[in-house]
Amino acid sequence: MIVVTSSEIAGKKIVKTLGLVRGNTIRARHLGKDIIAGLKNIVGGEIEEYTKLLAEAREQALDRMKTAAAEMGANAVIDVRFSTSYVMGMASEILAYGTAVVVH
């Protein structure tokens, strides 16, 4: 599955547009990691626990989007974007979306 943020794929021709495709996940923070993050916030620097959590969430959302595209018969997704939204105090949604297409 080809996944790109552009509207075109170099060397490929879009022969069919299948429509919007998306994948999402909602992740909650872990209390123990919040304590560590709070301590790091005092001294500054990257909060690796959250970096890892969000990276895993993005990959899961991308995987779900690609699965949905394959189920539609696509072999590529163009114009891919990410969106993050606040769900509740300790949870956020990561959404990956784009346009499912068939390319040759």
Note the pLDDT tens digit of each residue in 36-79. Answer: 666 667 777 777 878 888 899 999 999 999 999 999 999 999 99
Measured torsion, CA atoms of residues 36, 63, 16, 82, in degrees rounded to the nearest 10: -10
The alpha carbon of residue 62 and the mean position of all alpha carbons in its chain are separated, in whole angstroms, by 4
What pLDDT score does 34 carry? 60
Ordered by where they begin, the domains of the chain are 2-103 (3.30.110.70)
pLDDT digits (tens, 9 = 90+) for 3-21: 999 999 999 999 999 999 9
What pLDDT score does 58 carry? 96
Is the confidence at residue 83, as pLDDT, over 90?
yes
Across the beta sheet with 91-103, the strand order is 2-3, 76-88, 91-103, 14-28
